[in-house]
Amino acid sequence: MYALRSLFHIRPNKTLLNKSLYVIHKKVQLAACNVLCKFKHTTELLEFIESEEEDELYKVISNQYIGVIAGGHKVFLLQPYIKWGKDKKRNTTSELQMAESVALVESLPYWNVIDKAFAPLLSFQKKKLLGSGGLDNFVKMIKQNRQITAVFISINLLKHIQRIELQNILGLPIYDRYSIIIHIFREHAKTPEAKLQVALAELPYIWKKMGEVYDQHSGQINFDENRKKLLRTRESKLKKALEKLKENKKYSRNRRKKIGLPSIAVVGYTNAGKSSLIKVLSEDESLKPRNQLFATLDTICYEGLLPCRQKVLYIDTIGFIQDVPEMLLAPFIVTLEDAMISDVIVHIFDISHPDMKAQFQHVEKVIKPMLKEHQSVIYVANKCDLIQKFDIDENMIAISCKDLTGIDELKLKLEKEIFKATGRSVKRIRVKSGSLASTWLHKWTTVINLEPDTDDPQYMFFDVLATDLTINEFKRFLKQ
Ligand SMILES: Nc1nc2c(ncn2[C@@H]2O[C@H](COP(=O)(O)OP(=O)(O)OP(=O)(O)O)[C@@H](O)[C@H]2O)c(=O)[nH]1
Ligand SMILES: [Mg+2]
């Protein structure tokens, strides 16, 4: 079983293991044996090997372009936004964007925002980003506060020239959203898989910055060939490892299907409560939800039981966020796509969040193209304990992972959708107690109830949860 858990990143669930009705089918154990050999092989492939020298050189390059997070920073946060025109954001406000930027900074250890300002602009293209008046004010605000040790300009990507110009004027390190999120990712990645994805996510940023330096000097700068070679080799090694990861995902998905474990993927905006919901549904105490953006980077499966005692896998996923370049999240799409092949998708959103509408729309836009036809999505409005009044569509369920409002209703809905998606239904079958047929049913179906036949005590009624396919197999078995 250990190998099976490792392959699917299934956390052992002590609460469930202690429940007497919790049965691990022989069939799962058998599959686990097969999986063991494959998994050992895969871990080796996922290991990313670089020499100490290469590692040191990469550190120098990445520190130069992405910066270091040091032992913390007291941050001045500048929130630029487009005042008007076609690029003006219409489904959110600059105040809400500012609040999210603060949360990003404070997701890093010992980083705090100690001062902040808005920058209404017509475009983000200027060499120093701001016009001369705006720039004077900005510099004044920063020079006035001697505690400030870094500046976060909350736009997707600053151009290299913008960063260097502002860095020279202010004498402080400058970060944009991409570089801040990379640092959060580096802090939060735990599994080899997530570390690999983060390592790959930072390379386009470095390439882009290097390219801009080259353009800025009209091609006169000749980058050290060693550096370019190192980056190319690193990129190709990481891509290969990611390809292996893709294969491995496909393999584990197929095994999951074969074993017949239904799966439920929980997706949503970062901090919506995905991990909290899985913790409530699976009763798995190892899950530790945190009030941080991108707390979860690893796609991990957790076991749980539906009300009918059918075992299911809940898949936790990386959260979504607006205003980041696609190339930053691209390496994580592999695991997200894998999760999206689940039988049922739960899209959870934070109903109490002032920017809820924009967050919801953003997630919908990303997941829509990944959904299969007829794939069932359950919409869950979380954190309803934090607001008095709310308005949701009738196909949505309001819940609170904190005071457990709506959880029973959600469990029943999940059960219904899993039955529908996997073609399972409850069937009543009469078999002789202790017969081979009764052993077969225990082995290949989920037995949810047993009742003696009062007319003939030698027989029992089995209420089993199974697909039509399994029932046909049972009929064939009886004919043997
Ligand atoms: N009041 C309240 N807080 C909640 C509820 N659900 C989750 N939270 C809190 O919201 C924060 C984020 O919860 P997580 O479960 O980590 O959110 P997530 O979607 O997994 O976040 P990421 O992994 O960072 O994308 C934590 O501090 C939780 O305790 C709820 O129903 N009510
Ligand atoms: Mg999480």
DSSP-assigned letters across all residues of 241-276: HHHHHHHHHHHHHHHHHHHT--EEEEEEBTTSSHHH
ipTM of the shown complex: 0.99
- Which of 271, 302, 347, 349 has most ligand 1 atoms within 8 Å of its beta carbon, as the pocket-test mutant? 271
Give the tens place of pLDDT for each residue, 253-288: 777 777 778 999 999 999 999 999 999 999 998 888
42 CA distance to ligand 1 centroid (A)?
Answer: 32
Query: What is the reported pLDDT for 222?
Result: 63
Q: Which atom of ligand 1 is nearest to the CA of 295?
A: 24
- Which ligand neighbours the alpha carbon of 291 most closely? 1
- Which of 276, 278, 317, 390 has most ligand 1 atoms within 8 Å of its beta carbon, as the pocket-test mutant? 276
102 CA distance to ligand 2 centroid (A)?
Answer: 19
Task: Take residue 425 and report the two structure tokens written for it.
Answer: 């239904």
Query: Among residues 381, 303, 301, which one has the least CA distance to residue 339?
Result: 301
Query: What is the reported pLDDT for 236?
Result: 92
More confident residue, 101 or 91: 101
Find the mean pLDDT for residues 293-321: 90
Rounded Cα distance, 206 and 370, in Å: 29
346 CA distance to ligand 1 centroid (A)?
Answer: 15
In three-state secondary structure terms, 91 is: coil
Q: Which atom of ligand 1 is nearest to the CA of 270?
A: 25
The burial class, CB within 10 Å (0-12 / 13-18 / 19+), for 33 is exposed
Query: What is the reported pLDDT for 384?
Result: 97
Contact 169, 163 (CB under 8 A): no
Find the mean pLDDT for residues 240-251: 82
Q: Which atom of ligand 1 is nearest to the CA of 403?
A: 31
126 CA distance to ligand 2 centroid (A)?
Answer: 37
229 CA distance to ligand 1 centroid (A)?
Answer: 42
Whether the predicted pLDDT of 47 surpasses 90: no
Residue nearest to atom 2 of ligand 1 (CA): 383
Percent of the residues in the chain that have a pLDDT greater than 90, as a whole number: 59
59 CA distance to ligand 1 centroid (A)?
Answer: 33
Whether the predicted pLDDT of 43 surpasses 80: no
Whether the predicted pLDDT of 334 surpasses 90: no
Contact 314, 264 (CB under 8 A): yes
Query: Among residues 201, 197, 209, which one has the least CA distance to residue 167?
Result: 209
Task: Take residue 414 and report the two structure tokens written for it.
Answer: 């999940």
pTM, rounded to two decimals: 0.83
Which residues form ligand 1's pocket by a CB distance below 6 Å?
Answer: 268, 270-276, 289-296, 319, 382-383, 385-386, 400-402
466 CA distance to ligand 2 centroid (A)?
Answer: 32
Give the tens place of pLDDT for each residue, 375-414: 889 999 999 999 998 889 999 999 999 999 999 999 999 9
Q: What is the largest CA-CA distance in the chain?
A: 95
Rounded Cα distance, 231 and 206, in Å: 9
Query: What is the pLDDT confidence band of residue 243, given thresholds at 50, 70 and 90?
Result: confident
Q: Which atom of ligand 1 is nearest to the CA of 297?
A: 23
Q: Which atom of ligand 1 is nearest to the CA of 319?
A: 25
Contacts with 142 (C-beta within 8 Å, 6 or more apart), sequence order: 76, 115, 148, 151, 170, 172
Query: What is the reported pLDDT for 221?
Result: 60
Average pLDDT, the chain: 85
Which of 64-68, 87-91, 289-293, 350-354 is modeled with the greatest confidence? 350-354
Contact 264, 315 (CB under 8 A): yes
247 CA distance to ligand 2 centroid (A)?
Answer: 25
Q: Where are the alpha helices (DSSP H) in 340-393?
A: 356-367
Give how far Cα 82 sits from Cα of 120, 141, 159, 325, Å.
6, 21, 17, 17
Rounded Cα distance, 300 and 289, in Å: 13
Question: What backbone torsions phi and psi does residue 377 show, to the nearest 5 degrees?
Answer: -115, 130
More confident residue, 345 or 29: 345
Rounded Cα distance, 477 and 64, in Å: 67
Contact 152, 101 (CB under 8 A): yes
- Which ligand neighbours the alpha carbon of 319 most closely? 1
Whether the predicted pLDDT of 211 surpasses 90: no
Query: What is the reported pLDDT for 97?
Result: 94
Burial per residue of 173-197, b for 16 or more beta-carbon CB atoms within 10 angstroms, e otherwise: bbbbbbbbbbbbbbbbbeebbbbbb
- Which of 266, 401, 410 has most ligand 1 atoms within 8 Å of its beta carbon, as the pocket-test mutant? 401
Q: Where are the alpha helices (DSSP H) in 126-191?
A: 132-144, 160-170, 177-188
Query: What is the reported pLDDT for 5?
Result: 39
Give the tens place of pLDDT for each residue, 426-449: 999 999 999 999 999 999 998 989
- Which ligand neighbours the alpha carbon of 267 most closely? 1
Contact 395, 369 (CB under 8 A): no
Contact 100, 176 (CB under 8 A): no
Percent of the residues in the chain that have a pLDDT greater than 70, as a whole number: 88
